[in-house]
Each structure stands twice: as structure tokens, then as C-alpha cells.
Structure 1
Amino acid sequence: MRYAAFALAATLALSACSTTPVGRAPAFTPVDDTLEHRAMATPTFPEDLAPRGGTTEASLWSGGRSSLLGDRRAGQRGDILTVVIEIDEKAEMRNTSARSRSGSENMGINSLFGLPGQLPAGVELDPGVGFDSSSESEGTGSVRRNEKLELRVAATVVDVLNNGVLKIQGSQEVRVNFEIRELLVTGYVRPADITRQNEITYDKIASARISYGGRGQITDMQQPRYGQQIVDKVLPF
């Protein structure tokens, strides 16, 4: 009974390492304590409603962001913008190398302590030592990649640097049955690169980090088990 209880406890401990709970769908990541939530919850400086030129606050053409012609692009902490990810890249590389080398060495001995006179007929000391070697190697390698990804995700301005550059971070999770699709994006953008539609493409994001994956039953089945991964790390061959 003791061994059975130990085996059951070990099985439960290993099953707890799985990302998908038994009989239940994977849970969403909490959003209450993220950088996006804190950025939107922190109050910013009040906006000056009085436009330039001496007009009053009752004017129909005020310069505020909430006016008809105001600039509503993201520009301060807590604002939201859309990140457009359209990756269509292809790379192909091929390399071939060949190398060969051959060499030979011969060394002769005409006489050694009078031995030629004492040797039987037909036996000579020349050549005394001979070496002959050759080596040849050939290698071929190729790399071929093709990636295509089209996504859109809402990101939040989590910080404004001293030079005006915006730090953004966005996440999106969609659950279908027992599988969650995750999309994460973070990086730095210039306010001038944000379009009038409050969008920015991924190629204008500095230090961009884009992650597209998932977790759930299908993802668990596609990954090697923990024991196999440990064995692959330990074995030298």
C-alpha cells in the first residue's frame, strides 16, 4: 500500500506539471494586475481644454482630442492603438564545401653499422621508412524558410519615455473548446509613425517582441513529455 500511495502521489505531481487541467479548459491569464491595466488605471495629467488663439472653451472648434477635428492617436500613458502584423518573409541559403589533401614521405638508409654486407641477398636498407597519407572531406548544407502571418491586436501605451517614444504592450487570448490561442506584442514606437487611423505596423516597432502560440490539449499532445525532454538533455548521444 505504501508503494501504491507513493506511485499515486508521483503521478499526481507529474500531472500537475501539465499546462492543461484534467477535464477542464485552460484558464485565461488574469488581466487585473498587468502593465496595461495599471497604465489605464493611473490618472494622467488633465488636458488643457482651452485651445491656442485665445478662443473660449465654448468654441465648436476647440483643439482638444475629443473635438471633431482633434488628434485621437495614442500619445500618452493608458491610450490604446492597433498593431498590424503582416509578416510574409522567405529566406533560402545553400552552402557546399569540399576539401582534399594527400602526402607521402620516404626515408632511405644506405648503410647502418655495416649491415648491408651482412644482410642476405636481395635484402636492402633503402628505403628504410615510408609514409603515405590522404584525407578528403565534403559537406553540403541548406536552409529554407517561409513565414506568413497576418494579425491585428490592440496594444496599450504603458510608458512614455523622456524623448517622447511610447512603450506599448498588448495581449490577446481566444479560447476555442480546450485550446487557447495567445498573441503577445511589445516594443517601442514613435508617435509620428502612428497613422490617423490610430494604427501602426510591426516594422515600425523598435525592439519588437511578437509571440503567437497557444496552450491546451492539442499543444500538450504536440510537445514531448517531461521525462523525454530530461533524457534528451542528459544523454550525450
Structure 2
Amino acid sequence: MTLSAAILAGCDSMPVNRGDDPDFLAASAPAPLPQQYNNGAIFQAAQSRGLFEDYKARQVGDLLNVILIEKTDASKTAKTSATKDSNVDIDVARLDFNGTPVSPLGSLVGINSDAKRSFDGQGDSEQSNSLEGNISVTVAEVLPNGNLVIQGEKWLGLNQGKEYVRLRGIVRPVDITAENTVLSTQVGDVQIYYGGTGAVADSNAMGWIMRFFISAIMPF
């Protein structure tokens, strides 16, 4: 049981590498059609562009710059109190062998029972997160309604390791600005992961023995 728990706990700390998750890989543009050349003419079909068409992302493989402005603040307080008291008194007359009281008044034998239960619980939880920056992603899919599925990752190599940002979500073309940017708050069904690898990240990670003692399989 201990060996199994150690193996399961070790699975929680699998190393993260660039490109190991297909949901965040950069999407490649579809193969282009054969270019058509019209030698001697000013117009070239291979380099043409619509008269009112801009350079915003709209096709699979196009780049889109996402501006990260994520900030969350959450707090929760819970308090529970319960009390229960019960009392039972029973008086029984002491009788002789004939069934008559020993004395005219009868000597009473008293039985008393008291029970008390009390519970008091209280919990507080607060969490605050902030993420700012930019990440360029690619269009992975164009949905039937015109919305764009975007995905990508950004890695930064530092002295003692690497830091990464991964993003995936759905964007409306109308939310994309003329500079080909979109706010992260305008990305639907968004998945944003921020983490790191290396000596600094490992020093902040909990050991596998401690993870075993706080895991769900620990009965105490």
C-alpha cells in the first residue's frame, strides 16, 4: 500500500516540457494552393489580398496576440455550531419481598441521566491571483459560426530553470482589434496555465512523502 501510494504521489510531479501537451501546440497553416503567375501583369494572384481585408487572425495557422490581464480575488468564511442537551430522571420506590413499601413514605431510589453534545466548527479561506503579460498563439480551428479556437504556449529560459504560460480558448473575430490583439478576459472557455521548471520550482514543490500523508488514501 505504501509503495502504491508513493508511485501515485510521484505521478503528481511529472516534469513539464515544451510541446508535451497537444492541446497547446502551435497549429500549422494548411498547405497553400499552387501559385498562379501572370507574367507581365501587375496583378499577381499569389500575392493578392482583398480590398477591405486587414491582417487580423482569421484562418488556421494565423498568429494572434493575447493580452493577459487576469486577476481574481476570492474569500470564503464558514461557521457551524450545534448543541444538544438531554436529561432523564426516574424515581423508583424501594419495595420489600411482598411488594409493599419498606416505609409508609417509601424510600425512593433515584436514577438520573444527563447527556450533552456540542460541536463548533469554523473555517476561513482567501485567495488572490494576478497574471499580466502577452502571449502569441495560433488559430487551431475555425468553428462553423466563425469563432476561432486559439492555442499556444510561451517559454522563458531563466538562469535556474524555465517559466511557461499556456493558453487555449475561443475568440470572436469581432473582439480582435485592428492591431491583431485580444484581451484574455474576452477569450471564452479559456484555459491558462502558468508554471515553471528547474531548481527554483523544485524547491517550492512538496515532497512525495508529505503528499502521501495528505492524500485522500491516508485514513488519519
How would you bin the TM-score normalised by the shorter chain?
0.7 to 0.9
Once residues 185 and 130 of structure 2 are traced to their aligned partners in structure 1, the CA distance between those partners, rounded to angstroms, is 14
Q: Deviations over 1:32-65 (max 9, x none)?
A: x88754x32422679xxxxxxxxxx85xxxx935
Aligned position for 1:43 = 31
Higher helix share: 1
Q: Please give the TM-score of this superposition, normalised by the length of structure 2.
A: 0.73
SS at structure 2 position matched to 1:108: strand
Percent of paired sites with the same residue: 24
Once residues 150 and 228 of structure 1 are traced to their aligned partners in structure 2, the CA distance between those partners, rounded to angstroms, is 32
Say yes or no: does 1:180 pair with 2:162. yes
Aligned position for 2:37 = none
Contact kept, 8 Å, 2:85 with 2:117, in 1: the verdict is yes
Once residues 35 and 44 of structure 1 are traced to their aligned partners in structure 2, the CA distance between those partners, rounded to angstroms, is 23
Q: Please give the TM-score of this superposition, normalised by the length of structure 1.
A: 0.68
Once residues 218 and 170 of structure 2 are traced to their aligned partners in structure 1, the CA distance between those partners, rounded to angstroms, is 42
- 1:198-209 matches, cutoff 5 A: 198-209=180-191
Aligned position for 2:101 = 117
Say yes or no: does 1:64 pair with 2:49. yes
Say yes or no: does 1:146 pair with 2:128. yes
Aligned position for 2:4 = none
Once residues 138 and 34 of structure 1 are traced to their aligned partners in structure 2, the CA distance between those partners, rounded to angstroms, is 46
Aligned position for 1:29 = 18
**Among residues 66, 69, 89, which one is paired with 1:83 in the alignment?**
66
Letter in 2 for 1:75: R
CA RMSD of aligned residues (A): 3.7
Say yes or no: does 1:226 pair with 2:208. yes
Q: Deviations over 1:82-130 (max 9, x none)?
A: 11111222222323332222121222334667455348x98423x3x32
Aligned position for 2:90 = 107
For structure 1, the residue ranges without an aligned partner over 5 or more in a row are: 1-13, 20-25, 47-56
**Among residues 196, 210, 224, which one is paired with 2:192 in the alignment?**
210
Once residues 175 and 206 of structure 1 are traced to their aligned partners in structure 2, the CA distance between those partners, rounded to angstroms, is 29
Distance 1:123 1:168, change over 3 A: same
Aligned position for 1:7 = none
Contact kept, 8 Å, 1:18 with 1:220, in 2: the verdict is no
The Cα shift of 1:157 comes to 0.2
Aligned position for 1:10 = none
Higher strand share: 2
